[in-house]
Structure formats: structure tokens, C-alpha cells
Chains A and B, each alone.
Chain A
Amino acid sequence: MSPADLELDCREMLCPMPVIELARHVGDVAVGGTVAVVTRDAAARVDVPAWCRMRGHEYVGEDAADDGVPRHVVRRLA
């Protein structure tokens, strides 16, 4: 599991809430910092990278949290 400056627990959220949480909190890290979205929502695997593309951030990749839940890491670029 790669370190992140901020981790968002979106385990029980359904789409589009994980992406909304990401949008709300990406500003909480400095430019160049990372935010991890932890969620079981299957749509996040597509929607987090798509959100990065639309918003001009970098999708770092997917790994898993300690409990095995998918974790999507984003780097704030702007």
C-alpha cells in the first residue's frame, strides 16, 4: 500500500459519492500531494481516473487497504 497524504474512507458509499468526497477533499492536500479513496464501489475504478482526466489531476493507481478494500490514489496537480 502506497502512502497518501489523505485517506478517504468511502467503503460504504455508492457511486457517485466516492468521487464527490474526492472533489470535496482534494483541496485539503497541497499541490503535488496525494489523496487515497478507499471504496467498494465498482464504478470508482473507472470514475476516479475519469475525474482526474476531467479535473487535471494525476491518477496514480489502485492498490488495496489493509482490509483488502480497493484504494484509488490521486495526485493533486492544480
Chain B
Amino acid sequence: MSTTRAHLDAASSEPLHPAARETLLAALDHGWADPRRLHHEGRRARLLLDNAREAVAESLDVRPDEVTFTASGTEAVHRGLLGLHRGRGTSGGGTPTLVHSAVEHSAVLHAARWTGDPVREVPVTRTGRVTGEALSGVVDEVLRPAGGPTGRVTVAAVQHANHEVGTVHDVAGLADLLGDVPLFVDACASTGRLPLPRGWAAAAASAHKWGGPAGVGLLLVRKGARWRNPFPADDRVDERGTGFENVPAALAAAAALQAVVAERDTLGPAQAALVDRVRAVAATVPDVEVVGDPVDRLPHLVTFSCLYVDGEALVTELDRRGFGVASGSACTASTLRPSHVLAAMGVLTHGNVRLSLARDTDPGQVEELLRVLPEVVATLRGRVGL
């Protein structure tokens, strides 16, 4: 049994990167003032904020004026999706309609339904992939419905990578198919780990998922995109954001992003190889199904479901043995509903485990988990007489 705990849930939150910690501590002393003020302290905070924006832009290969710091990834998703919807919502004929994939993060689902406008969902394959055919099919149905009024797609949302199963989308290819329909890309699961794809009109990311501090999101709005603020305006540094800027956290988030992008070429393949091993070994446990795309996937994340096993019991038993993992099973959710991602893919929702590797995950601890997994699964099945 492991003597130290293994945090295998980096997709929920990656521990703070050392570069972020160092930057955060320094910036707390220098970035506290109001960056809109013209006094020395204000100008110093403004300089740090501008530095953070430039560092993020460089890391993601976007323009600095395309970057807005938000209070969370969720806020960035809301502003990105709803801002594109509002930018298109008032002009032209047809009922304004939002389209999103069936495997989007719940932030996208909730925001789309919050508008009160019609929402159409794009089905996915067994591996959680939105095909161009499926996306075009739903857009065509909105434009040319079999019955009822003609609609108009204001925005289509397709994530870069799925947060639960790791499947990565060909965002640029889907954007080409969409033509004039603006694409919103939730890049929260992939930012820092994979290069940002092209093709989005707006995108969102979340710093605590790449080793930055919590409470920092990124809203990216492509130069020239028709985006209108969906919420009350605020007279801050950045017209797309709201509230007093958390300058130290933004700078720390930027420092972490720079660091993980610099480490990506070595860390990514190492994590991908370890995940390949988890996929191979987990699949040998009787009645365990490894889900998500085996190749086009996030480097650090793997999900599998164990038939006849209670997800909550599995998480609890692994936790007792020192492994912190996530689950998409209904019994582990506050809503008691199974993961809508697993449901949309048509894969088993119970007995579900998601492992996601942090930058400092010890491969030996992953091997230890693989060693105990068959026994844990067999023990839990034994409790229900199987």
C-alpha cells in the first residue's frame, strides 16, 4: 500500500505550479492597487496586469487584446458563449438558436438554457466525438426544419477536449464546416496541455486546471468576432470583464501557463505513455470498459467503468488506499444523475473512475493503483454477491 497519497484528479484541479507560487507571492506585494488609477501603485498594478495578458497571449499564440481575465473558467464560458449568442441574436430572420455538443461541460449546458432561446444538442459517437456530419446535420435542421418556424444558429459550442473522457476534437475542421456560424470552444480541459486550436470566435480556459490559482479564467474573443457583453457592463480595464481585477492571481496564472507550455513537449508524451499503460491494464480487468478516444485524447486523463461496481464505493475504497480519483457515476454526483457525458456516449455510467495525472504525479503510484485495482474491483463485486 502507498505510504503517501496520490492525487490522481488533476483534471479537477492541478496543484499550484511552483512558478505560479513564486509569482503570486511577489505580485501580492506589488499588484494590489487599482490598475485603473494613475498613481504610482495603480500604474504598477496595471503594468503587472498587462504583463499577464501578454504572457498568456504569447503562450496561446493569440493577440493580447483577445485575452480577458475572468473570475473563473465558468464565467469565461458564460461570457464567451452568451456574448456570441447576443452578438448574433438581434439581427436577421429566424428564431435565434444555440447549438452545442451533447458532451459539453455543464457550464455550457446551463448557460445555453438560461437564455430561454431554443437549444439543440449534437449527438456524439461512442468515443465521445462530435462528427462533422452530426454537427452539420443539426445546423441544417435548425435552418430547414421539417415543421415549425425556421431557426438561425447564433452560436455552436464544441469543446476542444472532453473533461471526463479526454476525447479531443478537430476544432479547426468543425469550424470550417460551420462557415459563418461562430464557434465557441470550451478549452478548459486542454489549455496548457495541448496547443490551442484555431477556428473559434470565442474560447474559455481555467487557470487552476493548468497549475495556476483558482479564481482565474480566460475569455478569448477573436479580433473581429461579433461578441456583445451579455451581462451588465463595468468600467474596468477590460470592457469584456467585470469587477476588480485580481492582478496577482492573473500574473500567477500567466506564469504557470508559460511554465506548462515550456514543459509540455516532455511532460505530455510521458503522461500519454502512462495513460496508455493504464488503458491497457484496466482493460484486462474483467468487465471493465475503458472509454474515450484511445488516440485523439488529452495526454493526462483516462476514464473507465467497472460493471456491477458502485462508483461511490470504488472512489471511497481507492481513497482509503491513498488514491484520490474522480467519478462520473450517479451516486457520486450531488444530483444523483449519471454523467451526461457518459450517457451521451452510451457507455456504462456506474463504477466509473477518472484518473488524471498532475505534472508531479509519481508513475510508481499509478503502477501501485493498477496493481490493486483488480483486487478492489473483485472485493466490491463480492460485497454484492457477484
Contacts of B365 in A (CB 8 A): none
The answer to the question of A17 belonging to the interface, with a C-beta cut-off of 8 Å to chain B, is: yes
A46 touches B346 (CB 8 A): yes
Contacts of A45 in B (CB 8 A): 343
Interface residues of A toward B: which range?
Answer: 10 to 19
Known A-B contacts A20-B386, A45-B343, A50-B347; A15 and B289 likewise in contact (beta carbons under 8 Å): no
B309 touches A16 (CB 8 A): yes
The answer to the question of A43 belonging to the interface, with a C-beta cut-off of 8 Å to chain B, is: yes
The 8 A CB mask of A4-48 against B (1 = contact, 0 = none) is: 000000000011110110010000000000000000011101110
B338 touches A15 (CB 8 A): yes
Nearest CB to that of A45 among chain B residues?
Answer: B343
Q: CA A15 – CA B287 in complex, angstroms?
A: 16
The answer to the question of B349 belonging to the interface, with a C-beta cut-off of 8 Å to chain A, is: yes
Known A-B contacts A20-B386, A42-B336, A47-B349; A15 and B308 likewise in contact (beta carbons under 8 Å): no
Name the prevailing secondary structure of the A interface residues: helix
The answer to the question of B351 belonging to the interface, with a C-beta cut-off of 8 Å to chain A, is: yes
The answer to the question of A49 belonging to the interface, with a C-beta cut-off of 8 Å to chain B, is: yes
The 8 A CB mask of B319-334 against A (1 = contact, 0 = none) is: 0000000000111000
B343 touches A51 (CB 8 A): no
Contact of B331 among A14, A23, A46, A53 (CB under 8 A): A14
B308 touches A16 (CB 8 A): yes
Contact of A15 among B330, B346, B386 (CB under 8 A): B330
- Cβ distance B272 to chain A, nearest Cβ, rounded Å: 26
B307 touches A15 (CB 8 A): no
Nearest CB to that of A16 among chain B residues?
Answer: B350
The answer to the question of A54 belonging to the interface, with a C-beta cut-off of 8 Å to chain B, is: yes
B349 touches A46 (CB 8 A): yes
Kindly name the residue among A14, A16, A41 whose own CB sees the greatest number of chain B CB atoms within 10 A. Answer: A16
Q: CA A13 – CA B347 in complex, angstroms?
A: 20
- Cβ distance B176 to chain A, nearest Cβ, rounded Å: 32
Nearest CB to that of A17 among chain B residues?
Answer: B384
Q: CA A16 – CA B350 in complex, angstroms?
A: 6
A50 touches B330 (CB 8 A): no
Contact of B310 among A16, A23, A42, A50 (CB under 8 A): A16
Nearest CB to that of A53 among chain B residues?
Answer: B346
Within A32-78, the residues touching B (CB, 8 Å) are 41-43, 45-47, 49-51, 53-54
Contacts of A19 in B (CB 8 A): 307-308, 350
- Cβ distance B214 to chain A, nearest Cβ, rounded Å: 30
Q: Which residues of B contact A (CB under 8 A)?
A: 287, 289, 307-311, 329-331, 336-338, 342-343, 346-351, 384, 386
13 extra interchain contacts, Cβ-Cβ under 8 A, other than A15-B311, A16-B308, A47-B349?
Answer: A14-B330, A16-B307, A19-B308, A23-B308, A43-B330, A43-B338, A45-B343, A46-B349, A47-B338, A47-B350, A50-B348, A51-B307, A53-B346
Q: List 23 A-B contacts (CB under 8 A).
A: A14-B336, A15-B331, A15-B350, A16-B309, A19-B307, A19-B308, A20-B384, A41-B330, A42-B330, A42-B336, A43-B329, A45-B343, A46-B343, A46-B346, A46-B349, A47-B338, A47-B350, A49-B346, A50-B347, A50-B348, A53-B346, A54-B287, A54-B348
Q: Which residues of A contact B (CB under 8 A)?
A: 14-17, 19-20, 23, 41-43, 45-47, 49-51, 53-54
